[in-house]
Amino acid sequence: MKKLTVLGQDVRVRVSPTFLQNAACPLNLKLTYVDKVEDHFLRVSTIRGSAAHEAIADLTKMAVDEEMPFNELTDDDVIAAVQKHTPHEIYAELGNILRWVRLWRDRYQYSKDLVGFEERLAVYDTPNWDEAPWDEADIRGILDWIEINNVHRHCIITDYKSRAGILSQGELDAHEQLSFYAWLVSKFYPHVETFTVRIWYLQYGFAGETSRTAQQIADYEDQMRLQIAKVLDIQSWDPIPGDHCGVCNFIHMCPVAKDLGPVPPEIISQTQAVEAASRIRVMEVLTSEMKKKLRKYVVANDAVRIGGDFVYGFKAHTSKAWDVRKVQEVLQRFGMDLPGADIVNLDKRKITKLIKSARNNENEELADALEELAYKETSTDFKGYKALANEDDEE
Ligand code: SF4
């Protein structure tokens, strides 16, 4: 058993996707695994996700036992499963969970290649990654869905996600949790040669998918070993902010997340500089998360007015734009042949600079010719703005 000891406090290093995510910040690791902070601090979204997962696991079992497609499960079946697994503390979320589970029931495809759901896979950290009992394992994970086609030696792994937001293809390709699952399955089914790994978006009822090759899985194993070694190296529980703050359950207990605390009069020491940079990092991540949620609310409802004339909502924005081909023609007419790379990179900022420099060089004719080509382009941004200001900002 691997153990991390910091200032006399022990953490059993039992690797799972959640452990690796929490390990990005030592304070998060301590609050989760040393202090074992009470469940009621857990975010609503975490509890909501667990309720949906457990309801789906019950329904999957029911359909598999009855050998029937999921879309033949009745509304009563779905309601009973959601009722059973949703704790009262997230009563207000019942409608959402019911909608997600219904979407799953209606759209998720059963497969005859299914080999496991809510499957607990656990191994010891030994050279052959020997199978371990769940409570003794060094590395373990619960997989929502595993199907294996033995003829094609191909495995499909699906992870149900309840958080809002669709990942880009690049994010799916680099998704560490999906790599972890493929790695873990490869230890139990060594004959599998290729993997499709998917995220089923519970809120939207569809899957995004990518693949993992044997080489990618071997690379991931090296990465995970390195991560474990770094965790075992931790010397202090001080917080380290980053993107992971967006999914942290302990923001209310974190010293660097005291975003409404006073701003220091000045920053003169390295310690103060690190503290200020850390606070900014947390605030940026939280602001971005909050803006996404507020935008969603405004799309479904209306702009939100705060403090009299300040509004968060959609605002039209007009700016100048140019047809690059026409700009190129004008430049040629004036004997300015830009190299190919400069033409490709001609954007609003560069054209504005060209006009400015033409005026500075008293080449008014060129500046006017370029100005004449400008047309107005309107776009709409989600932002905070003064409601009484002119609706259209010019740039
Ligand atoms: S908010 Fe960020 S820095 Fe603070 S404990 Fe959570 S993960 Fe660590």
- Residue 32 neighbours by CB under 8 Å, 6+ apart: 22, 249, 250
Is any ligand 1 atom within 6 A of the Cβ of residue 282? Answer: yes
**What are the helix (H) ranges across 144-193?**
169-173, 176-188
Mean pLDDT of 119-128: 93
Closest atom, ligand 1, to C-alpha of 278: 3
Classify each residue of 46-65 as buried b or exposed e, where b means 16 or more C-beta atoms within 10 Å of its C-beta.
bbbbbbbbbbbbbbbeebee
Is any ligand 1 atom within 6 A of the Cβ of residue 245? Answer: yes
Give the three-state DSSP class for 385: strand
Closest atom, ligand 1, to C-alpha of 27: 5
Question: How many CB atoms are located within 10 Å of the residue 267 CB?
Answer: 14
Nearest Cα residue to atom 3 of ligand 1: 241
pLDDT tens, 153-202?
A: 999 999 999 877 788 899 999 999 999 999 999 999 999 999 999 999 99
Angle at 192 between CA 186 and CA 197, to 5 degrees: 70
With cut-offs at 50, 70 and 90, classify the pLDDT of residue 42: low
Is any ligand 1 atom within 6 A of the Cβ of residue 327? Answer: no
Can you tell me the distance from the alpha carbon of 173 to that of 113, in angstroms, rounded to the nearest whole number?
24
Is any ligand 1 atom within 6 A of the Cβ of residue 25? Answer: yes
pLDDT tens, 297-325?
A: 898 888 888 766 788 899 888 888 898 88
Decide if pLDDT at 391 tops 50.
no
- Phi and psi torsions of 296, nearest 5°: -60, -40
Can you tell me the distance from the alpha carbon of 391 to that of 381, in angstroms, rounded to the nearest whole number?
12
**C-alpha distance across the termini of the chain, in Å:** 61
Amino acid in the structure at residue 341: A
How much distance in Å is there from the Cα of 234 to the middle of ligand 1? 16
Angle at 160 between CA 158 and CA 163, to 5 degrees: 140
Tokens 């059993």: give the residue: 12
351: left (phi over 0), alpha (psi -120 to 50) or beta: alpha
Can you tell me the distance from the alpha carbon of 327 to that of 375, in angstroms, rounded to the nearest whole number?
12
Is any ligand 1 atom within 6 A of the Cβ of residue 26? Answer: no
pLDDT tens, 247-285?
A: 788 888 888 877 666 777 788 888 888 888 888 888 888
Q: What is the CA radius of gyration of the chain?
A: 27
Structural tokens at position 199: 């995220």
pLDDT tens, 57-110?
A: 999 999 999 889 999 999 999 999 999 999 998 888 899 999 999 999 999 999
Residue of 282, 284, 290 to test ligand 1 pocket, by largest number of atoms within 8 Å of CB: 282
